[in-house]
Amino acid sequence: MINTVALVGRITRDPEIRYTATGTPVANFTLAVNRQFTNSKGEREADFINCLVWRKAAETICKYTHKGSLIGITGRIQTRNYTNQKNEKVYVTEVAIEGFSFLDSVGKTNNPEKQSQHKPNNTNPNDPFANGGQSIDITDDDLPF
């Protein structure tokens, strides 16, 4: 059996972290992933995918990401269900994250509590990406995927 997911998208709201009764961190967020085609109006649509991450990875994602952060994730699809307060059965499908990569610079945030003092250590004057720590202006349309 194969159950593998790889996604690149933007976080739609700040990740929320909770702790289990035993103190294990768990965070959830929604990832907006653009579709590869446009609709009949020429607009690009997106899928909004629920994501769940555990332990140290949950704390790291909550510390360094925010609404709008670009992130790549790998994981697996999982389903679960529960009965809500109205005694209705609720079904949930989500991606259980097993690996991730930050695709924005770590210091690029509008939230001062999450800003870091990350400085690049590349001093090669011929490097087109050595820009004194400034972000590079690239739109999603410029990316090959």
Tens-binned pLDDT, residue by residue, of the chain (145 aa): 999 999 999 999 999 999 999 999 999 999 999 998 888 888 888 999 999 999 999 999 999 999 999 999 999 999 999 999 999 999 999 999 999 999 987 644 444 444 443 334 445 555 555 555 555 566 666 665 5
Structure tokens at 39: 């609709």
- Enumerate long-range contacts of 57-60, CB under 8 Å, 24 or more apart: 57/97, 57/100, 58/15, 58/17, 58/25, 58/26, 58/27, 59/17, 59/25, 59/27
